[in-house]
Amino acid sequence: MEMVDLSVCIGSVCHLAGAYNVVQSFTHLIEEYNLHDKIDFHADFCMKNCSKPGVSVSLNGTKYTITADKARNFFREKVLPACEAIK
């Protein structure tokens, strides 16, 4: 079964930028939308994106940098459409 690949960097720089809050937000949203069977959600230790402010997130191989307060919007605008594209 095809799945959306979603990961959050938990390396030192991203941790200080709020990675824990991003992980918590994504975890709650996966629960809320019951997407366990559509999302492979995991953490990575470094995405080599440390020079950009915020937390590095990878969605199906595309890297983004978000802030913890934008995690819910990112999920709704990027992750949900990716999940809906899976048959």
Distance, C-alpha 29 to centroid of its chain: 11
pLDDT-derived band at 86, boundaries 50, 70, 90: confident
The pLDDT of residue 1 is above 90: no
CATH of the domain at 26: 3.40.30.10
> What are the tens digits of pLDDT across the range 30-78?
999 999 999 999 999 999 988 989 999 999 999 999 999 999 999 999 9
**In DSSP terms, which residues pair with 43 in a beta bridge?**
8
Looking up tokens 């992750």, which residue turns up? 79
User: CB within 8 A of 29, min separation 6: which ones?
Assistant: 35, 72, 75, 76, 79
Number of domains in the chain: 1
What pTM, to 2 d.p., does this model score?
A: 0.94
The size of the chain, in residues, is 87
d(CA 47, CA 56): 7
Q: Domain span at residue 44?
A: 4-84
> What are the tens digits of pLDDT across the range 13-24?
999 999 999 999
